Amino acid sequence: MIIRTIGIVGGTGFVGSRLANELTRSGYRLRVLTRRRERNKHLLVMPTLELIEADVHDPAMLGAHLAGCDAVVNLAGILNEDGDDGRGFQVAHVELAHKVVGACRSLGIGRLLHMSALNADPAGPSHYLRSKGEAEALVRAAASDTLAVTIIRPSVIFGPADQFYNRFATLLMLAPGLFPLARAQARFAPVYVGDVARAMALALTDPQSYGLAYDLCGPSVYTLGDIVSYTARLLDLRRVIVPLPDWAGRLQARLLEFAPGKPFSRDNFRSLGLDSVCTGAAGLARLGIVPTPVEAIVPGYIHRERRGGRYGRLRRLTGRRAPTM
Ligand SMILES: NC(=O)c1ccc[n+]([C@@H]2O[C@H](COP(=O)([O-])OP(=O)(O)OC[C@H]3O[C@@H](n4cnc5c(N)ncnc54)[C@H](OP(=O)(O)O)[C@@H]3O)[C@@H](O)[C@H]2O)c1
């Protein structure tokens, strides 16, 4: 299969920007579809990247913009929805994946990389994990002689501009001395965004990856409590991390749904009921990638959280870029 032009849905975010970088450096032409072109102009510096504003939920428009692509990458995803009934996750994860598969089939596109998440499972404990699991199932079912699919299932992803270490850094800076933490014992194997992008780029052209799912984990496992303490240490902050019992964690999640940027939700709390660690064959090793440790990367960007004062931190929490960025 010869791949020259790749359509990317959900390619404007944290992972997408890194993947676009990786793919344009390898000479691919990219068509990145976005609902808001104006907000994603940072991607335009990449010479072979076309940034297209489109309603990706409209099958006709999706098909029109993916026509002529040799492969499609679906990275679209959300961590929180409005409300808590699962509808937002269904639309962003399941219905969109269905439309992307449909576009590949009707346009005769032979290659699809689909981004899922570790623990995705139609019977999972949260709307997020169930919708990711349902999307995986429909993508697997779409695999055929004419459509080669590969599914990527990372643990939490770190790197500059992540929404994990950076978010805890912001919250730690805003908090007074005590830092109440729900699900402090939940375990993660954070994986570097550069390794995730590399894995996706390698899998794209590797026939051995057709029909497979890759669980992507970093080299070490940490509890959420470890991660927050480490972030506080990097920022030179004295904070007492207070692990919350589940009843208080649920209450905290409910209250933080009303905070700017919804930094934590009941659905996040439910997802944290499962450890986000690799149990089977590690996907990065299967692709010949040595996972990058947290300690080699996070100290290099986390100090930026100190910039911009309280206002800047609140802007970051609500997902708004600072005017100078
Ligand atoms: N970051 C992690 O730690 C992590 C871990 C495991 C799995 N993942 C998965 O990796 C993928 C990329 O994550 P990320 O961290 O790069 O996320 P991100 O920075 O928030 O970017 C999300 C992307 O999805 C698109 N999107 C969001 N809501 C959408 C909707 N309702 N309909 C259509 N498109 C929508 C956005 O496109 P617009 O330009 O249109 O806004 C954006 O390009 C997601 O599927 C996520 O679930 C991430």
Q: What is the CATH number of the domain that holds 95?
A: 3.40.50.720
d(CA 180, CA 247): 13
- Give just the sign of the alpha carbon dihedral 203, 207, 210, 216: negative
Same domain for 120 and 25? Answer: yes
In tens, the pLDDT along 274-297 reads 999 999 778 999 999 999 999 999
Instruction: Indicate the helix (H) or strand (E) that contains 111.
Output: strand 111-115
In tens, the pLDDT along 222-255 reads 999 999 999 999 999 999 999 999 999 999 999 9
**CA 176 to centroid of ligand 1, rounded, Å:** 31
User: How far is residue 134 CA from its own chain's centroid?
Assistant: 17
Within-domain flag for 283 = no
**CA 319 to centroid of ligand 1, rounded, Å:** 13
Same domain for 53 and 202? Answer: yes
Encoded amino acid at 40, one letter: N
| From 14, 38, 44, 98, mutation site for ligand 1 pocket: most ligand atoms within 8 A of C-beta | 14
Mean pLDDT, range 34-41, rounded to an integer: 96
Residue 10 beta carbon below 6 angstroms from any ligand 1 atom: yes
In tens, the pLDDT along 176-215 reads 899 999 999 999 999 999 999 999 999 999 999 999 999 9
pTM score: 0.94
Encoded amino acid at 178, one letter: L
Within-domain flag for 324 = no
The pLDDT of residue 307 is 59
Question: Which residues pair with residue 213 across a beta bridge?
Answer: 151
Give the structural domain span for 179. Answer: 165-187+220-278+292-317
3 state SS of 293 = coil
Same domain for 13 and 68? Answer: yes
Residue 115 beta carbon below 6 angstroms from any ligand 1 atom: yes
d(CA 109, CA 145): 12
If one counts the domains in the chain, the total is: 2
* Nearest atom (ligand 1) to Cα of 154: 6
Taking residue 4's Cβ as centre, other Cβ atoms within 10 Å add up to: 12
**CA 240 to centroid of ligand 1, rounded, Å:** 32
d(CA 30, CA 49): 5
Same domain for 140 and 123? Answer: yes
Q: Evaluate whether 189 touches 221 at the Cβ level (below 8 Å).
A: yes
Residue 131 beta carbon below 6 angstroms from any ligand 1 atom: no
Residue 154 beta carbon below 6 angstroms from any ligand 1 atom: yes
Residues with Cβ < 8 Å from 211, sequence gap 6 or more?
143, 148, 149, 150
Residue 12 beta carbon below 6 angstroms from any ligand 1 atom: yes
**Res 325 pLDDT > 50:** no
Question: Which residues pair with residue 187 across a beta bridge?
Answer: 223
**CA 196 to centroid of ligand 1, rounded, Å:** 14
Within-domain flag for 200 = yes
Within-domain flag for 322 = no
Same domain for 179 and 247? Answer: yes
Same domain for 62 and 153? Answer: yes
Residue 34 beta carbon below 6 angstroms from any ligand 1 atom: yes
Within-domain flag for 197 = yes
Q: Which of 174, 201, 216 is the last residue of a domain?
A: 216
Same domain for 140 and 263? Answer: no
Within-domain flag for 34 = yes
Same domain for 119 and 75? Answer: yes
Distances in Å between the Cα of 123 and the Cα atoms of 104, 131, 135 are: 27, 9, 12
The pLDDT of residue 321 is 43
Within-domain flag for 238 = yes
Residue 40 beta carbon below 6 angstroms from any ligand 1 atom: yes
Mean pLDDT, range 73-92, rounded to an integer: 96
Same domain for 27 and 77? Answer: yes
User: How far is residue 156 CA from its own chain's centroid?
Assistant: 8
d(CA 31, CA 46): 11
> Closest Cα to atom 6, ligand 1: which residue?
117
Same domain for 99 and 182? Answer: no
Same domain for 94 and 172? Answer: no
Same domain for 77 and 226? Answer: no
d(CA 258, CA 263): 9
Q: Evaluate whether 43 touches 20 at the Cβ level (below 8 Å).
A: yes
Distances in Å between the Cα of 290 and the Cα atoms of 19, 205, 287 are: 18, 19, 9
* Nearest atom (ligand 1) to Cα of 158: 3
Within-domain flag for 286 = no
**Would you give the DSSP letter of residue 276?**
B
> Closest Cα to atom 17, ligand 1: which residue?
13
Residue 159 beta carbon below 6 angstroms from any ligand 1 atom: no
